[in-house]
Amino acid sequence: MTRTEAANSRDRIALETSSWFAVVRAYEECARRYARMLEHFELTTSQFDALIAVERLGRNAMPKSIAERLLVTRPNVTGLLRRLEERGLILMVPHASDGRALLCRLTPAGRRCVHAAQEAAERFVHTQAAPFSNDELRGLEELMRSMHRHLTTMDPDTLARGEGEESLNVSKTAETSTRTGSRGKFGP
């Protein structure tokens, strides 16, 4: 490898690392502030998402369909729904034709809570996006969708074992760091 190629490789690795951290920091800050906003309604993000799912699913709001919508397991969503029921935000009633299944319904208090939280969430998103032009937002959305598609092709287990082409640069960087005594940006 020539000096230019090595410098370009180091620059690329630094750029990959700094851009990855920028995405993670932005996501974490957004999630932290969003959760803090929802605290004003005595809701966690998961509880808010569950209430939205109950409202949108309407007559089909069963724990299984809510879990599918939230991308969680049914046991996890069952505990979440029970807590919302205990707070008086939803009712869980037996299904009319299948007594084993439960249907979830928003109570009047649950409807008021979710609508107020939705309005605040819309203000949150609007305020977060306000400094950016429509073209910047479209570009960001396209970039994040592309990143998401790529992430779904990655196998974390293979990368952790250092196998596959994707891990080639990471393995070489780790070997170089080990030889030079550097821990790198991902190490302790």
| Three-state DSSP state, 153 | coil
What pLDDT is stored for residue 3 in this prediction? 73
pLDDT category at 186 given cuts 50, 70, 90 is very low
Distance CA 103, CA 93 (A): 5
All residues at 6 or more sequence positions from 19 whose CB lies less than 8 Å from its CB, including other chains: none
Supply the pTM of this predicted model: 0.77
pLDDT at 181 over 70: no
**pLDDT tens digits, 127-141:** 999 999 999 999 999
Domains of the chain: 42-122 (1.10.10.10)
